[in-house]
Chain A
Amino acid sequence: MKLRNFFQGDIRDDAENGIQELMRAILVRAQFSPGVRHAIGWR
């Protein structure tokens, strides 16, 4: 699994912040590529 493609954190350090950081990475990273963003379904 290529987690490092989009997330460099370590959840074990702080699970509560880490899991929010992971969700943020999923949500935000796709926004930086307009073509991909729209193809996926974001607007």
Chain B
Amino acid sequence: MKQSINAVEGWIAKIRGYAGIFGLHFEGIEETPGWFTGSFGLCYFADPDEALVEHCSLLAAAYCQRPDYISLVREFLQHDKMASYFRVGKLFLAIDIRQRYLYLGMESLSVQRSIAKDGVCLQHNGHMVQVIKPGEYDQDFPALPVTQAFFDVLASSLVFHLEQSPDWMLERCFPGVEIVYDNEGIIRKSPASDIHEVLIGLGFGDCRFGDIL
């Protein structure tokens, strides 16, 4: 585990069952009366040799092939766009003003999908080569299981530190969206019936945790 310091704090870590590296970084404090709630972006920097790379966006996959990829990951907050190209979800950590209760939560899309409406062509040896056909997926990344795998380890760490199990749990599911972009740079969100957004929360202490959502 390593801290990656920029204007905000960030960490990278590995967990069992995943060949890639997770990156977590602070995004800000959210307004929740009676609570201090921090939001944290979660990234997954896939290992160039693992099958998950095939589901990353073209831009992210290109990063994975760079010889300095691991160096970039180690300092991911200092490189523009790294965090957004590899983002898989969001984590929340909240503590009440009197520091008696804790909340740990996550949200993620079941699948992060982007569709290249007009396809994508790249220049290779002086020729234009079509790398994505019109209407096909650029990204189709299973963000939820990846986010949840990290969340489970983080939550287990918290349980270990507090020497107690969560007193409260919530799981909510909402309709999800996919991203469609074209060659003119227009990006729009479109409802996707097979994608859902999942929110999971754990509360420690005897409290009405639903109030902070």
Q: How far is the CA of A26 from the CA of B38 in the complex (A)?
A: 14
| Minimum distance in angstroms from A24 CB to a CB of chain B | 7
Q: Are B162 and A1 in contact (CB under 8 A)?
A: yes
Interface flags, A18-43, vs B, CB<8A=1, else 0: 11101111111111000010101111
Return the chain B residue nearest A23 by Cβ.
B93
Given contacts A3-B102, A18-B36, A20-B38, contact A27 B29 (CB under 8 A): no
26 contacts between A and B (CB under 8 A): A1-B101, A2-B163, A6-B161, A6-B162, A11-B95, A16-B28, A20-B8, A20-B26, A20-B38, A23-B9, A23-B24, A23-B26, A23-B38, A24-B9, A24-B11, A26-B158, A27-B157, A30-B161, A38-B16, A40-B153, A40-B156, A41-B16, A41-B153, A41-B156, A42-B157, A43-B16
Chain B interface, >50% SS class? mixed
Q: Are A12 and B161 in contact (CB under 8 A)?
A: no
Q: Are A5 and B1 in contact (CB under 8 A)?
A: no
Given contacts A41-B15, A42-B13, contact A28 B164 (CB under 8 A): no
Q: Select one of A1, A20, A28 contacting B1, CB under 8 A.
A: A28
Which residue numbers of B lie inside 8 Å of A, CB to CB?
A: 1, 3, 8-9, 11, 13-17, 24, 26, 28-29, 36-38, 40, 93, 95, 97, 99-102, 152-154, 156-158, 160-164, 204-205
Q: List 10 additional A-B contacts (Cβ < 8 Å) besides A11-B95, A26-B154, A41-B16.
A: A1-B102, A11-B36, A19-B38, A30-B161, A40-B153, A40-B156, A41-B153, A42-B13, A42-B15, A43-B16
